[in-house]
A and B are shown apart, each in its own frame.
Chain A
Amino acid sequence: MIEVKNVTKTFDGFTALNDTTLTVPVGAVYGLVGPNGAGKSTIIRHLTGIYRQDSGSVQIDGQDVWENAALKSRIAVIPDDWYYFNTATIKDMMAFYKGMYPKFSMERYEKLKEVFAIDEKRPIRRLSKGMQKQAAFWLALSTMPDYLILDEPVDGLDPVMRRQVWSLMMGDVAERGTTVLVSSHNLRELEDVCDHVGIMDHGHVLLERSLAQLQDNMVKMQVVFADGMHEVPADLPVLHTSKLGRIHTLIMRMNAEEATNRLAVYNPILVDAVPLTLEEIFIYELGGADYAVKDIVL
């Protein structure tokens, strides 16, 4: 289990993480979402031992990550901008990873060679951005990690390869119980793969729940009120409202059943509960946190 407790980190007076707490259960696929500058990459760098927190604790399986080589040998990381040695080929990097990670599997490396189909003797700097990303996955998955920490992992990959890569990771989750923490802006994609979601803003985790809980906690109601009632009653707890013709669309922080009951009081002509997408949850949650982009998105 990944546990980040009350972590604070400042850079030259700027607070990048502010009392951040985050928990990723074992075997979960955890999507970390948030606007640019929310602190997602910073928390990932703490989880991979690059940064040291000013206060709080960063633990995996009950052990501090900082300076814990044994623990780090069980973690594979793919940052948004993967680093490779300047003149290295995939084969060179494989030799390096093999030397560094005790569980590195040559068998898996050979199997993945067929999946990625990249010339392992070509210098990595000569590969396209997407191919470099594939190389990063190839090597990361060959280390047989218990924890896979990914920062914008599929940026630059074509749709087929994205599916291929997610399929490989989901296979690891299913077969080996790998825990995945993934930060991404592609909420549509996360919705398909994540079972847990954390939303960050201003260096703080606003909420974290399982996707089911999250979707159950907020609902989009489409309502047509009876004649003479043109506005949404003021006593309804509505996060956001919009109107198209006579149809009111209400975003309410409650489950569908409760929302239906609350609306029933006004004898609407039509009431329909529509599940929110992760993208909508993200937008409305952050809308509550004064996220500046909301007007543009809406």
Chain B
Amino acid sequence: MADNILEVKNLKKYFKTSRGMLHAVDDINFTIERGKTLGLVGESGCGKSTTGRVILRLIEPTSGEVLFEGKDVTKLSKREMRHMRKDMQIIFQDPFSSLDPKKTVSQIIAEPIRENRILTGKENIERRVLELMETVGLAERYINTYPHELDGGRRQRIGIARALAMEPKLIICDEPVSALDVSIQAQILNLLKELQEKLGLTYIFITHDLSVVNHFSDDIAVMYLGQIVEKAPAEELFEHPVHPYTQALLSAIPIPELGHRRERVKLKGEITSPVEPPAECRFAKRCLECNEKICKASVPKLIEISPNHFIACPLKQQEMGFKI
């Protein structure tokens, strides 16, 4: 039996807008095994960040279940949730706006420790702060500096130290390296990987960068307009992408090598609006393979086409002989 730390069932988050309901996250399901990384990829507006926030209940879900170690997070009271958040932390994308500019590095890292009474006593807390700084590779001399004095890489290390302060089991990394230069990006990715091995952490890695997600994840779920369209182990997904959107996405990555100028899977048209979307495949309008009769008949279901490889494309499912 796989030890699933997190199970997300039929999760939905709709936002009310003047033009109707915006389906930001629309009925998504996935599980993550303890100690593994799930990559959540997609383009801007696909609902990947909202999914991360809904799991932590930073935004309340519209419906669905989020089972963390078997307990439904969505049904917890505020107080229970506060306790639960120690186990589930988040690292934000922008290290420039997610840190309080008026606090020093040590105050920022100490805050969650003090607030949640993980440790008491000034000395204990200070010792823990130094320990955390060492863990994330921040030199002791930065302890009394302010975020604006540091570069993006170091600021992101503070964000990681603050998340680790709670000794979490699961960390949601929301585009943790997108704002950083490549050489710094690699430093942070290596740090996150080391921490995972050392502390047995489970990650949900949210990103739009496919080469990063491939490097970092065990499983990858590709999102499009609030839904998961394909999910598979990283290697399988990169080698045998089946959903036309995944294929287009993968072929769009520019590869930094000679002789790689290649044919792209082309996309057409404009993106379907996530406000009151019709009951059909949301990718249909941009898909060159779209078959009006099959693709616009109903909302596609995520079906397992080979072990652990799921797709939500009625056309491909039918080609492969699955009943839809």
Are A and B associated in one complex?
no
Name B's A-contacting residues (CB within 8 A): none
Chain A contacts to B: CB under 8 angstroms: none
